[in-house]
Amino acid sequence: MTVIEVNGLSKRYGDRTVVDGVSFTVAEGEIFGILGENGAGKTTTVECISGLRTPDDGSISVLGLDTRTEREQLRRLIGVQLQESQLQDRLRVGEAMQLYASFYPDPADWRELIAAVGLTDQVRMPYAKLSGGQKQRLSIALALIGNPRVAILDELTTGLDPHARRETWKLIRQIRDRGVTVLLVTHFMDEAERLCDRLAVLDGGKIVALDTPAALIANVGDVDGYRANLEDAFLALTGSGRDN
């Protein structure tokens, strides 16, 4: 079953087109990654899919609902972790979880989620006192508190140490195994390769490749006598708008 369908999405800021005719679909239970250089239009794309921004052109449906006209219904079905989510400094971890849980009709067990992201010892800690990685883990838990059918995660593991990254990947696989569809933006090639079933590569607001990580790598062949990796594939596909 198709869960996310993006058709001819375009978004302009002033006279600059930052997302330009993007189309793709994501199937139920898939982990779908979006890769691209800084400014390629990844966040704008996922914000349009989350219903947080209104596209200038094109249509987007998530779980059969139109993101322009059926935002209210969608809000309960999508969990969104955005870059640099900011909470009130004095709000404690447990309080934030309970507050967000109260927004949803059928929330997850917040203590279980907090344990899954490794923040049980920080439950009474105010947001301002958390480290960057702990804030990041809290934002992942908050994205999942509503038991979403679709999780949209922007720069999932930025700022996390290697152990926490692996734990986070495990958590994402677990929620996928429960049937949640995952859309994630990442700059990490290992994360994209290990975690994602398929990847869309954005360059200058356009999709320049859409395939499994293995197929993207196979398309490159050898580089300097070595078998290419995903970074080689990414570098070969992107950077068309660069001056150098």
Ligand X SMILES: Nc1ncnc2c1ncn2[C@@H]1O[C@H](COP(=O)(O)OP(=O)(O)OP(=O)(O)O)[C@@H](O)[C@H]1O
Contact residues: ligand X, CB under 6 A: 13, 18, 36, 38-44
**In this structure, what token pair is assigned to residue 140?**
């992942």
Give the nearer residue to ligand X in terms of CB position, either 41 or 146.
41
How far apart CA 227 and CA 221 sit, in angstroms, is: 6
Give min distance, CB of 25 to ligand X, in A.
20
Give the nearer residue to ligand X in terms of CB position, either 19 or 62.
19
Give min distance, CB of 244 to ligand X, in A.
18
Give min distance, CB of 201 to ligand X, in A.
11
Cα torsion 88, 90, 91, 93: sign: positive
Give min distance, CB of 188 to ligand X, in A.
12
Report whether 203 contacts 237 (CB < 8 A).
yes
Residue 203 pairs with which residues in a beta bridge? 206
Give the nearer residue to ligand X in terms of CB position, either 114 or 155.
155
Give the nearer residue to ligand X in terms of CB position, either 132 or 221.
132
Phi and psi angles of residue 22, each rounded to the nearest 5 degrees, phi first: -85, 130
Give the nearer residue to ligand X in terms of CB position, either 31 or 49.
49
Give min distance, CB of 114 to ligand X, in A.
27
